[in-house]
Structure 1
Amino acid sequence: MGKRSSQRKHAAMLDSDDDNSSVSSSSDARSDHMSVSANEEVQLDKDRLLDEALDALYEKRGSTREKALSAIIEAFNSGLQHEFVEKKFATLLHPCITSIKKGSAKEVSLASHAIGLLALTVGCGDNAREILEGIFPTLPQALKIGADSSKISALLECLAIVTFVGGNDPAETERSMQIMWQLVHPKLGSNVAGVKPSPAVITAMVSAWAFLLTTIDGLSLDPKYWQESISYLSGLLDKDDRSVRIAAGEALAVIFEIGSLEKFCSQVKGAGGGSTQEGKELAHMHGLRGKVLNQVRNLAVEAGGKGSAKKDLNSQRNLFKDILEFLEHGDSPETSMKIGGDALQTSDWCQLIQLNFLKHFLGGGFVKHMQENDLLHDIFGFAPKKKYNLGAEHQMSSGEKRLFRSPNSVLNKARTQFLNKQRMLSKGRNVGRFAVGAADDEL
């Protein structure tokens, strides 16, 4: 009797536990449903605001368009607007291009930034190529008009981002790099600004040019182009402006990392015949290497001058110490930063330059994009845990789920194409990496 009573009591306890579990599970389900509903409601509000801003881009008043562009930039920084872009991609792109053609300097800057964010949102594929094709010849023409540094810098960043995402053909990337180069190096062509470029414009150009250089196979470019590039960048290392020096140093680091200079010298040495011209070219490259190395050594230990900003001085010293270590010993800087608890790491100059450029361009939206943007995950091999767990997927909108799940989607095909390109370039960099000191010993 007592035993049966004990068994019944135990059974009742089990039933009670099951009931509590059921209640708890039901409560969790309601909580999750409420959370998803709240997220969907917030997204609907964002969509309404984006629709209103999109309509405002067609207004005649310039200040109205500027406010609309600012709102669009804020929305694209605060979250990945995949559904909105999927439905209204062209409707957003074309008025932004019109703003670049006809708007004030501020409107041009805002429209350029919005187009860059649009490219990063759509990722690789047909839409990104449409953006690249759409900004030509509008953007190069806009670079020739006026002398507003912020406008020119925004246009350069836009050209760099759109080409980086949408340029599959190396010739397209080289075309954009030439447009940038000619802006501050007039003797290469007629596509130049009407006034002498400011240090801010030079810095923006060199940074954008180096960003695109990270995607180029050095063997595809004319060796004379490399000579001219290195000579110009070496000259910038002697400028008074530290931002110019830093940008030039980063560009030179990328050139040395992809190995183009070494490959060119090998071609000259292996050409045979030993002509006087070949000897002159080899001697010139040898002297250029030595000059750059001495400049890097000096900048790595430069003392602060009168009125110098200590922050800029420390940034310069740290950068050129890393460049010196790389040039002398072949060791690329390794970096690590936390993004929402996950570690984002870089192990070579190309990735570091890409990271710095995108971080600068995205500004306050950098962390959000690094957490949610598949394109950036592919570029840096970054896989945040919160993005890919089941709970995170339940928070996605229906459009994002469709893009995330479909193995045959345009996005996934484009990502595969992009990854193959990145692997090829990474393999080429590993083969071409060298230290200047070792190369000089060979000479």
Structure 2
Amino acid sequence: MASTTNELLRAVLNSKRTPSSGGRTASKPSSRKGTPKLSRSVRGSRAVSRDVSDDELDDAASIASEDTWYDAFNPEDEESEEAIGDNWESDLQEALDALGEKRATAREKALGSVVRIMSQAYVGEGLEGSRISCLEALRRCARSPKTDMEAQLALCGISLWFINFGMESEPEDYTAISEQLKALVIDRSKAASARSSALATLGMANFVAGSDFRDAAALLQFVDSQVLKVELSSKEHGAAAVVRQALETYGLLMTVIADGNARLAEQLFDTSFDVHMRALAADNVELRVAAAQNFALIHSTLARENGTTNANSNGSSPPLLSFEFERQDELVATLQVLQHESAKKHGKRGTSTQRSAMREILRTIEHGEMPKLKISIREKTLRLNDWSHISRLHAFRTLLGSGLPTHFVDNPLLQEVFQVEFDGSGYRYLVKEARTVVDPNSELAKARTLDMQRRRRNAREAKAVDNDADDDYY
């Protein structure tokens, strides 16, 4: 998104529009008690390689090397946010009721509370009875906002709605908002912040509630043709925030498509290859990094699908299989140029970010090496070594901010997406040893996906039976 959830809340807090939560006593679902203060924070929402010093940290810093740590808890976030109280359910309902206020400042204040609570607590069970009315209230605010801040907060709230109600959401929930958000995305008269927020919301809603990989493919084609190719066709490369979010949304959708049909993923990316190459040529470091990560994502996916084990894999992560793009040499040469680009053009921070990212991406594309990422959550360590999971992690981290550990522990959606389990009674990771996330192409991962689809299908059929019964009654 144009702004992370924490940045949006910070802006509202600075304007003194967010009400006090009535103290800093944290409720159980959102408590940070027992979470260690980490010696190193991640600014923004991305991991940073250990060879980048603390004064060089940058929002665009990307996936890094074997020793990379992604700190799910950021001490800076705690200092900039108000903790939610024990009565967060009533506070949330009060804020939702206030979304109908006529004054924009009152709606912003209420939206700030909604976003803060839904990002720091898992509300999927406590607010089940108000699930639909909550989404409708947020949609109304996003439909005709009076300020850019109201638009961003409303769109962020919709994304958080899908994260919180992910296990109960239906394809109809995504369909209900998709056209509204698409219209906002392609309206170049709207603020870049609102358009990029709409892109992020579209991606998350589709990821959570889309019917299958075909839904994701349809949205990806929209992002490619209506955003990337339009914005990158001009010499100025359009609004950087919009292009960056379009690239990140593209990557998130591609993880869904590749899981469902790798050949379709390859065909779709072939049509997007040129636009990604244009993004690599942009002046903005963040655009270059986002585009390069998509190359790594699709390369690693198709490499596994190709069928021949790469001897260069070191065995500590799922082995990549041999694959090359048609224009592999051109791509590698471009990435190598970016890796060694002089610091004069982008400064020390930007150049360090770019070099670190390109180095890791080249390891995947040239040598078949997967990234290695460790996440610290509740004093436990989770290891990710797949570009697909890393792309998904970035999307959730951007929206949840410092609430990510809480949602990993309490939210079944994140546990399903990343195949992790926590002991909720003591907030302890069930597997004491560091654990590798299940390969998304493994039989276990596919079985879990099929099980989720089956449960959703049964829920829809049960709902249809109930509706038929109501019709018979009348």
Gaps of at least 5 residues in structure 2 are 1-26, 32-83, 307-323, 430-444, 454-474
How far apart are residue 43 of structure 1 and its match? Answer: 6.5
Whether contact under 8 Å (1:379, 1:422) holds in the other structure is no
**Change in 2 beyond 3 A, CA 1:220/1:63:** farther
Q: Secondary structure at the match of 2:420?
A: coil
Q: 2:106 aligns with which of 59, 64, 71?
A: 64
Deviates more, 1:355-364 or 1:68-77: 355-364
Compute the displacement of 1:422 (Å). Answer: 9.9
Partner of 1:123, secondary structure, is coil
Indicate yes or no: 2:152 matched with 1:109: yes
Map 1:24-103 → 2, pairs under 5 A: 45-103=87-145
| Higher helix fraction (1 or 2) | 1
Indicate the structure (1 or 2) with the bigger Cα radius of gyration: 1
Whichever residue aligns with residue 448 of structure 2, its letter is: L
Distance 1:158 1:170 in 2: 17
- Please point out which of 410, 424, 445 is paired with 1:372: 410
CA contact (8 A) 1:123 1:165 kept: yes
Which residue of the partner structure matches residue 303 of structure 1?
A: 342
Paired with 1:109 and 1:80, the residues of 2 have a C-alpha distance of: 21
Would you say the 8 A contact 2:111–2:153 is kept in 1?
A: yes
User: With structure 2 as the length reference, what TM-score do the two structures score?
Assistant: 0.64
C-alpha change, 1:315 and 1:384, in structure 2 (3 Å) is farther
Within 2, Cα distance between the matches of 1:92 and 1:53?
10
1:131 Cα shift? 2.5
CA contact (8 A) 1:346 1:380 kept: no
The whole-number CA distance in structure 2 between the counterparts of 1:229 and 1:157 is 19
Q: Measure the CA separation in 2 of the matches of 1:203 and 1:319.
A: 15
Match of 1:200 in 2: 241
Gaps of 5+ in 1: 1-34, 264-283, 393-415, 425-443
1:347 aligned to 2:385? Answer: yes
Alignment of 1:89-168 (within 5 A): 89-104=131-146, 105-125=148-168, 127-145=169-187, 146-168=189-211
Corresponding residue of 2:358: 320
Distance 1:234 1:261 in 2: 23
Whole-Å separation in 1 of the counterparts to 2:305 and 2:382: 31
Moved segments of 4+, more than 6 Å: 260-263
Is 1:210 the counterpart of 2:251 in the alignment?
yes
Kindly provide the CA deviation profile for residues 255-310 of structure 1, in whole angstroms up to 9, marking residues without a partner as x. 111218986xxxxxxxxxxxxxxxxxxxx963x2211111112222222124x343
In structure 1, the residue matched to 2:329 is: 290
Q: CA deviation at 1:48?
A: 1.9
> Displacement of 1:418 after TM fit?
8.5
Relative contact order (alpha carbons < 8 A, sep ≥ 6): 1 or 2 greater? 2
Residues of 1 paired with 2:90 and 2:205: CA distance? 27
Contact 1:370 1:376 in 2 (8 A): yes
Task: Give the aligned residue type for 1:100.
Answer: A
Q: State the Cα distance separating 1:367 from its structure 2 match.
A: 2.5
In structure 2, relative to structure 1, the CA distance for the partners of 1:423 and 1:353 (3 Å cut) is farther
- Give the alignment's TM-score, normalised by structure 1: 0.68
Paired residues in the alignment total 336
Secondary structure of the residue aligned to 1:344 is strand
* 1:337 partner SS: strand
- Provide the alpha-carbon RMSD of the alignment: 3.3
